[in-house]
Structure 1
Amino acid sequence: MRKIYRVLASQYDPLGYLIPYTTCAKIIVQHLWDKKRDWDDPHLPADLLQTWIKWEEELPALQNIVLPRFYCSPIKDTATSLRDIHVFCDASERAYGSVVYLRTEGQHGQRAQLAKVLQTELNLPIRQTILWTDSTTVLTWLQSDSCRFKVFVGTRVAEIQDLTEKHSWRYVPSTSNPADDITRGRRLCELGPESHWYQEPLFLKDPPNLWPECPTSKELDNNELHKVGTCALICFTYSDFSQFKTLEELIESIALQGSTDSNPTASDYRRAEISVLQQAQQECFPSDLEQLRTGKPLACNSRLRALAPELDGESQLIRVGGRLRHSPYLEPNNIHPIVLDPRHPITKLIIQSCDSKLCHPGPERVFAKLRRTYWVLRGREAIKRLQRECVQCQRWRKKPEVPKMADLPPTRLRLFKPAFYSTGVDCFDPYTIRTGRRSEKKWGIIFKCLTTRAVYIDILHSLETDSFLMALRRFTARRGKPHELLSDQGANFRGGERELREAFTALGPDLQRQLAKQQIKFQFNPPNSPHFGGCWEREIRSLKNALMVTLGTQSVTFEVLQTVLVEIEGILNSKPLGYTSCNASDPDPITPNCLLMGRSDASLPLTVYPQSELISRR
C-alpha cells in the first residue's frame, strides 16, 4: 500500500483534470483499507492488485493529455462577452465530486468553447452561476424548508440554501452530466479531446430555452423528514429563564418579540426590562403586590414590611419607601430601588450582568453598584453565592486545590534491604576554593538512600563523566554497591551510564555472568521534572543552608570544604526520622546513623577555641 500511495500522490493535478482517472485508484485504496491491510503488506488481494496494475499501466499515456490554458478563444474574449459558470455535481456510494465549466457568449449570440476550471474565484465578470444535478430528490430537498428534515439532511440543505439561490439549481440527465465521470471513474484514454469530459455537455451550446427541464417533482422521503406532531400555543410566558445566559440576551429577545419590526427602539428595550421585573415580582411577592394595589397594609409576616414598600404607579413595580422623595440631587432609582428576591433567576442574571460589567470585583463593589438601582433581599449573601459559581471569579480568587498524593514508588519501600540499596544522586552548586594563589571551582555530589534517608556527600573536581565515576567508586567502597541509582537528566550521569554499560559489555563471558546480578541499574527522571527528585532536592537545600551559615561567601581550601561537607553529612544523618516526644519515658526517635553505625550521633563534642589560637577571622 505504501507504493500505491506514493504513485497516487505523485500525480500533480492542481486543476483536477485527471480526477475521473485518479478516482479509480482512490476506490482501490478504499477497498484495501476495507481488507485491513498494513502499509508494507506484500500480499494484497489478487483482484485488487490486478486492477491496480491495469491502472498503473495507463500512466505513460499522461503525456497525450493536453489542456488549453485559455478560458476562451481571443476572438470571443472581449469586454462585451457574457460569461456564466456552470457547476455539475454527482455522488455515489464510493465517491462524490463536481466539475465547473465557463460558458462565454459573444455579443452576436455566438458561443465559445467551454474550459473546465476548479477555481472559486476568477478575475472575470460573471453574469450568473447555474448548478446542475441529476438527482430529483436533491432538487426537491433544496426547494423545501430545511427544518422539515432530520439533522443530517437539514443541516446540509440549510447550508446550501444559504450559499446559493433556489432558482440557480437545474436538472441534468445522468447521460449528460460530466460529474458522472468522477463518481464512476474513467480510463486515461477516455479523457482525450474528443471525450465527454473534455467537450462539456452539448446542450450548453444551445440557447437556455433548449436546456433540459426538470421532470415531475418527487415526493419527499418520509425517512428523512421530522415526525410532525400537533401543538397548540395558548399563551406566551417568560417562565423559562434558564435558556438565556445573560440579562442582555433575555431583554433583547423580549424586545424583538414586542417590536413591530426587526429593529427595536430604546422604548422597546425599556418596556421589555419592566415586563421582566414585573414578572419576577409577581412570582416572588404575589400577596404583597396584591395588597399594595388595593391600598391595604402588608401582612405582619411579610418580608417587605421593614422596607416600607410602595407601588410605582407608572411601572407597577414594588419599590423601597423612604423620606428622600423630595431630594433634587438623587436619581429616582437611588431613592426608591426596585425590590427583588435573591433566589429568582432574574435576580441572578442582574447580579451576573453587574459583576461582568465591573470585571468581576469583590462582593462589596458589586453590592454597592447594585444598590443604586435594585434592593435585593439579603443582597450580599446572594452576590457571594453567585460569585462562588462564577468561573471567572473563581479563576482569579480561588486557591488551587492540593492534589491527592500518589502511592509511594517501589524504591521507597525496600524495607529488608541494606542502606543505599536504592539511591538517589544529584550535584549541587560549585564552590570556589583556594589552591595556593589561584582559585578553583569544585562541585558537590550527594547520594541519598531512599529507604533509610541517609546521605553521603562528596566533592567533584569537574562535571565530567570520569569525575562522577570516581565519586561513584568512592561511594561504593564506603557504603556498598547500590542496586539502582536514580538521577535527573544530567549529562555527566548519562555519560557515566553509557561508559559503565560499554565496560560491562566488553567484559569476558565468565566475568559478565558473575557480575550480571551486581550491575547497577540507572533510572533517570523525566526531563524538566525536578519534583521527581524532591527527596534529595530537599537535602540539598538543607546542605546549602548549613554551608551558608558556616562559610558564608568566603573562599576556603579544599581541606576545609571537605571537612565542612563531611560534618554536614553527619548532621543530616543524625536528624530524627519520626516525631520527637515530650514524654521522658518514650524512647529517642531513630536516625539514619542508628541504621548505619548503631548510634544516633557520631559527631565530636563541640570545642571552644580560645581567642589566642584564632589567627584570623577565617
Structure 2
Amino acid sequence: MGKVHIAFILGKSRVTPLKQMTIPRLELAAATLAVRVERMLRLELQIELEESTFWTDSQSVLKYIRNDTKRFHTFVANRVAMIRDLSKAKQWRYLNSKHNPADDASRGLHVEIFLNSKRWRKGPEFLEKTETQWPEVPEELGSIPSDDPEVRKDVIVNSTCVEEKSPTSKLIEYYSTWNSLKKAVAWMLKLKRLLIQLSQKRKVLTQTDPGSDQSLTNSLKEQIDKFKLTFGKESLSVDDLDEAEKAIIRFEQLQHYKQEITLVVKGKQCAKRNGSICKLDPIVDNGILRVGGRLSKAAMPTELKNPMILPKDSYISRLILLHIHEQVKRGRVHVKRYGVIFTFLVSRAVHLEVASYLDTDSCINALRRFICRRGPVTSIRTDNGTNFVGTHRELGEALKELDHNKIQNELLKEGVTWSFNPPSGAHHGGVWERLIRLVKKILYSVLKEQVLDDEALQTALCEVEAIMNDRPITTVTNDPNDLEPLTPNHLLHLKAKPVLPPGLFQRSDLYSRRRWKQVQYITDLFWKRWIREYLPLMQERNKWNKTKRNFSPGDLVVIVDDTAPRNSWLMGHVVEALPGAKVVLGQDGWTVTYTKNSICVLKGSSVELSCMYTYPNGTVTTAFWFTELGTGKEPDSLGQDPEYAGRLEYHGDKKKDSILKITDLRESDSAEYKIRLITDQAGGKYIGSPGVTLSVTGLQVKVTGKTLTCSTTCTLTDNPTYIWYKNGHKVKEDTSSLYSDYFSDADSYSCAVKGHKDLHSLAVCRNCWIVTYTHQSICALKGSTVDISCSYTYPSDHEIKNTFWFTKWESDMDPEDLSSVPGYKGHIEYLGDMKSEGTLRLTDLRIGA
C-alpha cells in the first residue's frame, strides 16, 4: 500500500499538418488525441480503473476545456466538445514544458540521450510523490480574453413583436382571386342568415310550447328539423355576390380608415386636411366610404360618380387589380390570319389578300375579291397542298381539307381554268416560286413580333403590294433619256408616278398609340429588306463564267440608298469610273499589284498586306515592306524598326508574291506601306508606289439622344457586324453600328466587332465614372523604364480640366500630384490625350518606387 508503480503502455504522436495551423489548435488536437487513446485503452484492458488524469503544458487548452461562457469557432468547438464528452474538466491539470515527456516525441532526441533518459518511460519525477505534491494550476490562468481569435463574436439579436392578424384578415389572405374570395364570403353570409333564422325559430318554439324538459327537447328538435327542410337547396345569386363584395369593402375600410369614417358619419371635417383621402371629400353610403365631390347631382350611377375608396397597398386592392387584368387580357385574343399571294404571269404584278380562315369558303372569297378588283382571268395555277407537308405541318393539313372540286366549279362559272402543280414539283412554278418565297420570308421576319389588328394588317399588305409592284422588271438601255425602267404598276395603273410614303418614321413608332404609324414603319422595314434581297436578282447570272466588262462612263445604274423614300428606284448616270480595290503599278517590266489600296482595321487585331509582282529578268533576292525612306537613299525595312519587333510575319513564295502580317496593331501603325524589290541584276531595284494605306482605329461609343453609335475613325474593311453590351452583358449581336434603347443614367454600354469580342470599346454611361487600367500589376527591373496606362470615361455633362497620378491618399485630404513629390521629380512623364486615356512613364526605376 502507498507504493507507486509507473509503466509505459502506449505513446502516440502525429506529423504536423501541411495546412498551417496555430499553436493553440495543435495543442488542442494533441489533447483530443489523448482522450481518444485513453478511451481505447479502457476498452482494451477491461479492468476497473479510477479516473484518469490528463496533463498538458498549454494554458490555452486548459482555458478552452474549462470554459462555460464563450462560444468558439467550429474547429475548436468540435474538439472541446469531444474532450468534454470523454473526460471531465477537473481531470485536466497543468504541466510545465520542461517536465513534459511528450516533447521527446514531438521535438525529437538523439538515440544516446533517449536511452539514458527515463522521462519517456517513467514520466516526470513528481508522479512518484503524493498527489498533494503535484504541480498546481497557475493562478494567472484566468478566463479566456474576449479578443481570442478562436472566440466567436457576440451577436445582438433584436426581436420585433408583430401584431396578430384577425381571423377575418387571415380568411381574406387565404384566397388568391377576387371571385373565389367573394364566393366564400357570400356562402358565409348565407350561412349566417340561416343560423339567425334557426335561432329565431328556436326562440319562438321555446316560448309557445311549455312542458317538461325532456318532452320540450324532443318536440323542439323535431320542429327544428322540419323547419330545416324548408330551406331547400341553396345557390348563390348575383345579389349574394354584391352583398359579399360590399361586406369585404366595409371590413377593409374599417381596417385603414376607421377614424375618417367616424368623423364623416358625425358630420365633421376630415381630421387631416393633407391626408391621403381628405382631398377626395369622402362620404359614407350604407357604411361604405366613397368619393364625394361635385358629381353628386349628376345623372350617373352611384358606382361611377361615387366610387369606393380602397388603400392602394392592401391585399384586397391587389386582388381587384389582378381580376381586372385577367378580364382585359381575355379581351386581347390573338386570332390567326392567312396571306394569299397572286402573281401575274405576264406583267409580273403581285396582288395580296387576307384570308380569315384556311378553308374552302375563305379561299373562294379571296379569289372573288381578286377578280373584282383586278378583272377576270383565264387561267390560275397553284401549288398542290402536299407541297407544304413537312415544312408547315399545320398549313399542310389545312390545305388537304380544302374542297378543290367546289373551288374549281365556282371558277368554271367565270370561265377560269384552275391547274395544280404536281406534288413536290415546285420547279413547275419557277416563274413565281422565287418571288413568293422572298415575300413570305421578309413578311415573316418583319411581322412575327408585331401584333396588328385586321385593319392594320390589310393596310400593311397593301403597302407591301405597292412596293413589289414598283420594282423594275426590265433592263435599261444606255440611252440617257431612258431613265426609268418598266414596272408592274406601269401596266396596272398606266402611269409612272410612284407611291411615296406619307412621311418619315422611326423605331419608336412601333410602340406608338397611333397604329397607322406602326404600319408605316413596318412597311419601311419591308422596303429595306426587299431591296437588299431583290436587287441581286436583277443582275445577269454569268452561268458559264464569261468575262464581263466593268462600269464605264455613260452606263445607267440603279442606286441603292437607304435614306431614299420607299418605292423610289433612283437611277444614276456614270460620269467617271474610278479604279477598284486592286492597284497595278508598272514601269520597264516591273509591275506591282496590291490586293487592296486601303485597309481599316481595329487596334489590337491583325492584318495582312499582300501584293503580286513581276520583274524584267533575274531573281528577286530581297523583298521587304517599309513605310518611310531612311536617312539614305535606301528605305529601312520594317524588320529593323524596334516598334515592330515581334509583330511581323512574312509569307509568300518571294518569287511573284509577298504577304506581310502585322499583329497587335497600334494606332501608330497607321501609314502607307510599300514593297521594295531587289534582284540580282544591275539596277534591279523597284518600289511599288503608291502603296497600301493602313488605318488603325479603336472603337468609341457616342451617345446622341436615345441612339448609340459604335464609332471609328475610318470605315472598317469588309463591312463587319457589331455586338452591343449593356452593363457588361451582351444584348444584341449581328447588328449595325447603331443601337437604340431606353436607359437610365447608371447604365453603361460598350460595343465590339463580331470576330473581335476581346477588342470592345470603352464603356460609356451618362452619369458614372469608369477607369480601366491596362495592367493590374507590373514587375520591372531596377533602373529601367515602365509605362502605366489607363483609359477612362466620365459623365457627358462634365469636362476634364486636369489629370494626374498619385500613390497615397488620405480620405480627408486631396491626393498629391506625383510630379510635385520630391522622390519622383525628374523621373516621371505624363503621356496620352488626357481626355479619354492617360499614361504615366516612370524612368530610372528604384526599389520602393
Report the TM-score when normalising by structure 1.
0.26
- Larger gyration radius, structure 1 or structure 2: 2
Q: Which structure has greater helix proportion?
A: 1
TM-score with structure 2 setting the length? 0.19
More strand by share: 2
